């Protein structure tokens, strides 16, 4: 603004100086035309030329303005339509977010009439139709998005969700794979593909999708808020490696054992993988390896299945077997102290050592009491057992209790959600360990 004012001032000053100079100069300007002769002072002639030039410039600008008027009016009208279309588009997506399909469809129709952006209006229409339960219309809209490279990913994601809703896992997997092909780092597509591949028990195909999710999780800056997701991923990978081992066992025993080892690296106390690998070592008479993983597993998750296999691996008599189990008690995870003593006592009773069983129960109770008595905050201390309830396979999602581990929760169908723990938020099932 300052530069414009300065320029105007300089021009006016120059014009005033020129006018003053011309007025001080003597002389006349003569012109003859069609018998007419004009004679004017020099200053007046110059002023006439300048005025005539200004008139020409004015009329030129006027003509240009008149000629450009339709274009300007068209631009203004187009701008108003675009503004109204963007407003309708915004309100439509807000309606989708609010779960108002009727309003969303209304705004989608209005935006489609006002805007020249078929990708955006088509996406809104697809979302609104999906929300309204009109899968046929939604599928048509999502399919139309596939023709544009910028919207193809969204189209595949939309078709994937429609297929899931329609319980068509084959089409859902195809759409998820197509979406990942466009955006290989898409966590959204990878999560859905992981679940879809797991549901058809294709554990090998599920692992690459899990890798995508895992890489994203590792790069996440907010580690504390994502800790639950990290644990879920580890649990899923542990389960996938174990399930993959089951598929490989018949064709490639060594590869199956490698998958089991990979599973136990994630969770050394994962009972299904631990028991399967121990059985394979015992079949191969590789007792040292069997004992190593069984003892480590017993310390983390004491279980009768582990104890039974330790007896086989140790090749000891009943008394030696119980004595070696007793030595492991001091290394058992403290939250399972009482459970471990009860388990060893039951093992002693099974082999006819009733006196040893009673002693173990007595010692176990005393140890727990001493630990709790020495802890001033025993009531708030959850590192030690506070009840006699035995662990179960419990779903972290729905809290359902199950006797055996399964890939999917029998109650809520969640993948890899069962963990071996004391019941939390559920009534324990009273059965023998």
Beta bridge partners of 421: 392
Q: What integer pLDDT is reported at residue 275 of this predicted model?
A: 93
Q: What integer pLDDT is reported at residue 428 of this predicted model?
A: 45
Residue 364: HSE in the Cβ half-sphere, 13 Å Cα cutoff: 25
Q: What integer pLDDT is reported at residue 69 of this predicted model?
A: 67
Q: What integer pLDDT is reported at residue 15 of this predicted model?
A: 67
Q: How far apart are CA 104 and CA 110, in angstroms?
A: 10
Q: What integer pLDDT is reported at residue 354 of this predicted model?
A: 85
Task: Note whether 243 and 204 are within 8 A (CB).
Answer: no
Task: Note whether 234 and 267 are within 8 A (CB).
Answer: yes
Residue with tokens 């994962």: 270
Q: Which of 409, 404, 410 lies closest to 391 in space, CA to CA? A: 404
Residue 206: HSE in the Cβ half-sphere, 13 Å Cα cutoff: 24
Q: How far apart are CA 191 and CA 194, in angstroms?
A: 5
Burial profile 103-135: b = 16 or more Cβ within 10 angstroms, e = fewer:
bbbbbbbbbbebbebbebbbbbbbbbbbbeebe
- The C-alpha torsion from 142 through 143 and 146 to 150, rounded to 10°, is -20
Q: What 3-state DSSP class applies to 429?
A: coil
Paired tokens of 323: 């004595």
Render each residue's pLDDT in the chain as its tens digit; 433 residues.
678 777 766 866 776 676 666 666 666 767 777 777 777 676 666 677 677 677 777 777 777 777 766 665 655 666 677 677 777 777 776 676 666 767 777 777 777 667 766 666 777 777 777 777 777 878 888 888 888 887 888 889 889 988 888 889 899 999 999 999 998 888 888 888 888 888 887 888 888 888 887 777 666 555 444 566 667 778 888 888 999 899 898 899 999 999 999 898 888 888 999 999 999 999 998 999 999 999 988 888 888 899 999 988 888 888 888 888 888 888 888 778 888 888 888 888 888 888 888 888 887 777 666 555 555 554 444 444 444 567 889 998 888 999 889 988 888 888 888 988 878 765 444 333 3
Q: Please, is 350 exposed, middle or buried when counting C-beta atoms within 10 Å of its C-beta (0-12, 13-18, 19+)?
A: middle
Q: What integer pLDDT is reported at residue 276 of this predicted model?
A: 94
Q: What 3-state DSSP class applies to 79?
A: helix
Q: What integer pLDDT is reported at residue 429 of this predicted model?
A: 45
Q: What integer pLDDT is reported at residue 245 of this predicted model?
A: 92
């Amino acid at each position: 603004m300052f530069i414009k004012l300065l320029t105007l001032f300089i021009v006016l000053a120059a014009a005033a100086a020129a006018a003053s100079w011309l007025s001080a100069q003597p002389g006349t300007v003569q012109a003859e035309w069609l018998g007419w002769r004009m004679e004017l002072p020099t200053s007046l002639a110059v002023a006439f030329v300048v005025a005539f030039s200004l008139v020409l410039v004015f009329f030129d600008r006027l003509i240009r303005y008149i000629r450009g008027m339709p274009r300007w009016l068209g631009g203004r009208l187009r701008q108003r339509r675009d503004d109204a279309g963007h407003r309708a588009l915004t309100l439509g997506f807000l309606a989708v977010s609010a779960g108002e399909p009727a309003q969303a469809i209304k705004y989608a129709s209005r935006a489609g009439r006002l805007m020249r952006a078929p990708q955006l209006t088509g996406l809104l229409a697809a979302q609104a139709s999906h929300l309204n339960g009109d899968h046929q219309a939604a599928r048509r809209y999502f399919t139309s998005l596939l023709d544009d490279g910028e919207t193809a990913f969204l189209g595949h994601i939309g078709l994937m969700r429609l297929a899931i809703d329609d319980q068509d896992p084959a089409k859902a997997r195809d759409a998820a794979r197509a979406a990942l092909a466009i955006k290989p780092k898409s966590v959204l597509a990878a999560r859905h593909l992981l679940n879809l591949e797991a549901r058809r028990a294709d554990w090998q195909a599920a692992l690459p999708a899990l890798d995508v999710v895992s890489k994203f999780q590792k790069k996440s800056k907010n580690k504390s808020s994502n800790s639950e997701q990290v644990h879920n991923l580890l649990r899923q990978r542990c389960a996938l490696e174990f399930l993959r081992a089951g598929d490989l066992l018949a064709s490639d025993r060594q590869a199956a054992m490698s998958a089991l080892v990979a599973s136990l690296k994630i969770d050394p106390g994962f009972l299904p993988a631990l028991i399967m690998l121990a059985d394979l070592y015992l079949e191969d008479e590789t007792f040292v390896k069997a004992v190593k993983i069984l003892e480590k597993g017993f310390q983390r998750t004491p279980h009768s299945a582990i104890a039974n296999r330790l007896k086989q691996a140790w090749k000891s008599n009943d008394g030696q077997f119980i004595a070696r189990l007793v030595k492991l008690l001091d290394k058992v995870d403290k939250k399972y102290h009482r459970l471990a003593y009860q388990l060893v006592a039951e093992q002693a009773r099974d082999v006819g050592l009733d006196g040893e069983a009673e002693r173990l129960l007595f010692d176990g109770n005393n140890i727990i009491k001493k630990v709790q008595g020495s802890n001033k905050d025993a009531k708030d201390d959850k590192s030690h057992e506070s009840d006699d309830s035995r662990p179960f396979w419990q779903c972290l999602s729905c809290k359902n209790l199950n006797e055996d581990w399964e890939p999917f929760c029998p109650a809520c169908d969640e993948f890899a959600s069962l963990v071996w723990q004391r019941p939390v938020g559920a009534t324990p099932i009273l059965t023998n360990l």
